[in-house]
Amino acid sequence: MSPTAGSGRPTLLGVPYDASSSFLRGTALAPSHIRSALRAASSNLSTEDGRALDTLGWDDAGDLELPPGTEARSCIEAGVARLLATGGRPLVLGGDHSVTYPVVRAVARAAAPFTILHFDAHADLYDALDGDRYSHACPFARIMEEGLAARLVQVGVRTLTAHQREQAHRFGVEMLDMQAFAAGVRPALPGPVYVSLDLDVLDPAFAPGVSHWEPGGLSTRELLTMVQAIEGPIVGADLVEYNPLRDPTGLTAMVAAKLLKEMLAAMTRE
């Protein structure tokens, strides 16, 4: 594993892209809203292990400037590669979940092999959705086809189609769906980990500001506990699918900011 990718300085990178969303647009607006919630006067910058976020050692590289269409994928990959080359370790703020594919492509060149820990209501393993192989419903099919991860461990899935079951079997995905989670099963994650966190893994009662409501998900407390339990090292991460257009109260932005704080805590604890 590259020292840069495994132990570089955690760095926020906004990826304001939602052109591959299959249902609603709006997630391209997420990065600035999450940053604002992180600095909200109603809260503070202390993590749950008692550290002040401002003392943890992390940077914010701002947002990538992206073209409006799907040609943005190559720009995302190049932007993450630049960050890695300068000693950063990406914590990407999406955007829709399609951004994970180009991000992981860049990280894999610097940090392979690693396990992907994927939190989501959906498996995102479609070979294609509505004719689009790069839809936000497809990133993990592309990742596994290219052998970019040694393992794919999915937590929270609760809307699996027959096609995606076939895809999971094809790629050897280790799937901990919500029924297994409710029965007490938890993943074992030795070695380097890349974390991909889709906010719709949470029950919409906790995070309604997402494009795809899927009842029956994790609580915020359950998800925070799992993030805090990651032993690492964390080679990179993304936080995706927050849609400010469905979050008029700002509740989900605060949930995203809380998760972001604990992700930074996990990445700097190593």
Q: Domain coordinates of the chain in residue numbers?
A: 3-268
Q: Give me the sheet containing 115-119, strands edge to edge.
A: 59-63, 9-15, 88-94, 234-240, 193-198, 115-119, 151-155, 174-176
Comparison of pLDDT for 6 and 180, the residue scoring more = 180
% of the chain exceeding 70 in pLDDT: 97
Strand stretches in 95-209, DSSP E: 115-119, 151-155, 174-176, 193-198
Tell me what percent of the residues of the chain surpass a pLDDT of 90.
91
The predicted model gives 118-139 an average pLDDT of: 95
Per DSSP (E only), the strands in 65-219 are 88-94, 115-119, 151-155, 174-176, 193-198
Residue 71 identity: E
Residues β-bridged to residue 254: none
Secondary structure letter of residue 242 according to DSSP: B
- 185 has a pLDDT exceeding 60: yes
Task: Locate 233 and state its tokens.
Answer: 């090292």
What CATH class does 3-268 carry? alpha beta
pLDDT band (50, 70, 90) for residue 1: very low
